[in-house]
Amino acid sequence: MFKVEDFQNYGKEHFEQCVASATSVQHGLQAIASAYGDYTKKSFEDTKSFVEKLSGVKSLDKAVEAQTEFARSAYETFVAESQKIAGLYSDLAKQAFKPVETVVSKFTPAN
C-alpha cells in the first residue's frame, strides 16, 4: 500500500533531480556558447590578419601563397573547434540525462 509520505518523497526527489538536470544543462550551454564565441573571435582575428597580409603583397605568387596558407589554417582551426564543440554537446547530453537515468533505474526490475 502506498503511503502519502512515499509519494511526497518521490515527488521531492524527482523535483531535485529535475533541478540538477536543468543546472547541468545551463552550465553545458554556457560552455558551448563560450566555445562558439571564442572560435568566432579567433576566426575574425585570423581573417583580419590575412587581409592585412594580403594587402601588402606585391606579386601574384605571394598572394596565392598567402591564400593557400590562410585556407589551410582556417580549415584546421575549423576541424579542431568543431570536434571540441561536438565533445561539449556530447558531455551536455550525458549530464542532462544522468538524473533521469537514476529515476528510471529505480523502476526497472533487476535481472
Residues ≥6 apart with Cβ < 8 Å to 88: 28, 31, 32, 35
Q: What is the pLDDT of residue 97?
A: 80
Interval 25-44 mean pLDDT:
95
Task: Find, among 38, 64, 39, 40, the residue nearest to 53 by Cα.
Answer: 64
Q: What is the pLDDT of residue 21?
A: 77
Q: What is the pTM of this model?
A: 0.74
Residue type, 4: V
